[in-house]
Amino acid sequence: MNGFVRLWRRLPPFVIDLLAVAVAVADALIYAGDVDPLTLVLTAVACGGLLVRRRLPLLAFILTLPSNLVQNLLAAPMIALFTLSRLSRRRWLLAACAGAFAVSTVFPWPFSSDGGDQFGTAVYFVYQLATAAAPVFLGQLVQAREDLAKRLAEIEEAREHERELYAQSVLARERAQLAREMHDVVSHQVSLIAVQAAALQVASPSAEAREAGGTIRRLSVTTLDELRSMVAVLRVAGSSSPGLAPQPTMSDLRSLIETSGIRVEVRGELPDGVGAPVQRALYRTVQEALTNVRKHAPDAAVTIDFASTATTVTVSVTNTRATRPALALPGAGVGLIGLKERAELLGGGFESGATAQGGFRVRMTVPIVAD
């Protein structure tokens, strides 16, 4: 049985349609006797209409009804009714078609004017209605089976997608955790080594000790540079697993300035009603600027200026010239690029560059977006 079903499913649709027409023709020939031309034409139309049952199932069924009035056909209307039931989801239409088939069978053409056996007619009508219900129920069963198969395929696809997402999230969390550990532990320790080596290089009276301190500092700087590259790769790979820490706003700016260890003067203030995305962008601008000052301009003074118009808000962070040499520690080199991208996403602009006094200035201007 399973082999027959598999073979049937492999047949092309037009071959199945031709077989349906052949069965309908054979059914018509069984009951055919001396038929008139009208009956022959209506029977041919009913059998030929099965060729369009896939595209126009309702039309194919309607074409079988006239022939059923003049000749007792069974195969053609049953096949058309089954196809309509398999493709249609309108239950009222299926019930109406089943009733139409029963009526066309019970009251053949030409209609008789005498009363006849009314009880027998009613019983025959119920019998034909039950006959028509068989292909309707079978078509609905096939339709439900196809819907269930599609639903199961969708569920399996969704489960596979969820498994992939879960595996990616686990891998992302592991990579992010590894990046945090490397940054918090290894990077901190290597930075201390580089600072101590630089101090040894400057303060030691021995030339050999100074040379050794310089070698240690260069190796530490190289190690830090390679370590930052590795951490950047790990963080990018684990970016699909965002952290749960709350994002800072301008209310956290005072704490940022106090913990920076830099002489900072703040001028101006933000207008009321600035949205959280804009506040985060301005905060990150100040944060990145102070970080660069600590790295590249030790002991420099910093001025933070806030200015606003009716539609935009601007923050400028300017530092003076460094008063002592900076320690040549490597940086990621993407902080300012990230600020420019953040400003462009908000529909604003970003610029940075050296000042005429030998300092450095960064400026971000973004539209005011309310919460």
- What confidence tens digit (pLDDT) does each residue in 113-153 have? 455 556 556 777 788 888 888 888 988 898 898 889 888 88
Is 242 among the domain residues?
A: no
* 222 and 312 fall within a common domain: no
* 220 and 88 fall within a common domain: no
* 6 and 152 fall within a common domain: yes
Handedness of CA 351, 352, 354, 357 (dihedral sign): positive
**For the whole model, what pTM was predicted?**
0.45
* 336 and 199 fall within a common domain: no
Most confident of 11-15, 162-166, 168-172, 228-232: 162-166
Mean pLDDT across the stretch 197-223? 77
pLDDT score recorded for residue 5: 54
Is 57 among the domain residues?
A: yes
* 79 and 113 fall within a common domain: yes
Among the three residues 203, 237, 271, which one is the final residue of a domain in this structure? 237
* 123 and 98 fall within a common domain: yes
Is 245 among the domain residues?
A: no
pLDDT score recorded for residue 241: 45
* 68 and 207 fall within a common domain: no
Is the pLDDT assigned to residue 302 strictly greater than 70? yes
Q: Would you place residue 34 in the very low, low, confident or very high pLDDT band (cuts 50, 70, 90)?
A: low
* 149 and 30 fall within a common domain: yes
Among the three residues 125, 158, 191, which one is the final residue of a domain in this structure? 158
Is the pLDDT assigned to residue 84 strictly greater than 80? yes
Is the pLDDT assigned to residue 245 strictly greater than 50? no
Q: Domain total for the chain? A: 3
The helix/strand/coil state of 245 is coil
Q: What distance in Å separates the CA atoms of residue 339 and residue 171, rounded to the nearest whole number?
A: 28
pLDDT score recorded for residue 110: 59
* 233 and 256 fall within a common domain: no
Is 98 among the domain residues?
A: yes
Q: Would you place residue 36 in the very low, low, confident or very high pLDDT band (cuts 50, 70, 90)?
A: confident
Is 58 among the domain residues?
A: yes
Is the pLDDT assigned to residue 357 strictly greater than 90? no
Listed in sequence order, the residues at least 6 apart from 201 whose beta carbon sits closer than 8 Å to its beta carbon are: 210, 213, 214, 217
Is 317 among the domain residues?
A: yes
CA distances from 208 to 201, 211, 214, 221 (A): 10, 5, 10, 20
* Domain that residue 185 falls in: 171-237
Mean pLDDT across the stretch 32-41? 70
* 49 and 75 fall within a common domain: yes
- Return the minimum-mean-pLDDT range out of 93-102, 162-171, 218-227: 218-227
